[in-house]
Amino acid sequence: MVVPPLIQTSKTDQIVMPDIDATKRGLRTQIRRQRDDFVNRLGPGEKALTFSVAPSPLSALFGPGKTVAAYVPIGSEANPLKLLEAAEKAGCEIALPHVTSKAAPMRFLQWSNTESLALGPFGLQQPDAGNRQVTPDVILVPLIAFDRALNRLGQGAAHYDRALSLLGNSLAIGVGWSMQEQPELDVDDWDIPLDAVLTEREWITA
């Protein structure tokens, strides 16, 4: 087990532990606010075109026999649904996450663009619980922030980290706005890095 280092600033100071959780909470609040402002400044045409075409490195991952999962965006999150539609047109089976609680493992359930969605916890829109569970080859992952080392800051419930830890062969592609990039993110031992990040400006790999 890795033990975080102790920090002592002077002989009279108390020894304190670095609080990564507090740093992450503060960054989530800051980035959500900045992301809202960024998206509110976009024109309707910009919003409609953004993330509407899969770049060649991503489209190369689509094809018959592949399963691609994404998410239904909430608020100002980047919207990957046109990318998911492109995957379906390329012959992929498509899926969305299904969550029942903060503690329960997240599953990926088969879905089609013609199917309606049910309201789940945390404001999520998700497939019917009776839909077939699948193992995605590619997962388009939401994020609060990312860095060039492909570290990801999520919502804090660790749903994706736990899911990805069990899906060793699935490629995790973060989808976010360029303004969500950070110089460097604090990470915990259980944080799972991404395989790539797609923003409205570029495709980022290590």
Every domain of the chain and the residues it spans: 20-204
Q: Could you tell me what percent of the chain has a pLDDT over 70?
A: 91
Residue 170, amino acid = S
Residue 142 in this model has a pLDDT that exceeds 80:
yes
* Residue 103 binned pLDDT confidence (cut-offs 50, 70, 90): confident
The per-residue pLDDT for 5 is 38
What's the mean per-residue pLDDT of the chain?
90
The per-residue pLDDT for 26 is 95
The per-residue pLDDT for 168 is 82
What's the whole-number mean pLDDT along residues 129-155?
97
Residue 150 near residue 117 (C-beta atoms within 8 A): no
Residue 9 in this model has a pLDDT that exceeds 60:
no
Residue 8 in this model has a pLDDT that exceeds 80:
no
Q: Does domain 20-204 have CATH number 3.30.70.870?
A: no
Strand partners, 146: 152, 181
Residue 43 in this model has a pLDDT that exceeds 70:
yes
Residue 13 in this model has a pLDDT that exceeds 90:
no
Question: 138-141 and 171-175 as β-strands: parallel, antiparallel, unpaired?
Answer: parallel
Residue 2 in this model has a pLDDT that exceeds 90:
no
Residue predicted with more confidence, 156 or 136: 136
Residue-wise pLDDT for 152-185, tens only, equals 999 988 899 999 999 989 999 999 999 999 999 9
Non-local CB neighbours of 1 within 8 Å, separated by 6+ positions = none
Residue 190 in this model has a pLDDT that exceeds 70:
yes
In whole angstroms, give the CA distance from residue 111 to residue 93.
8
Residue 4 in this model has a pLDDT that exceeds 90:
no
* Residue 16 binned pLDDT confidence (cut-offs 50, 70, 90): very low
Backbone angles phi, psi at 49, to 5 degrees: -85, -25
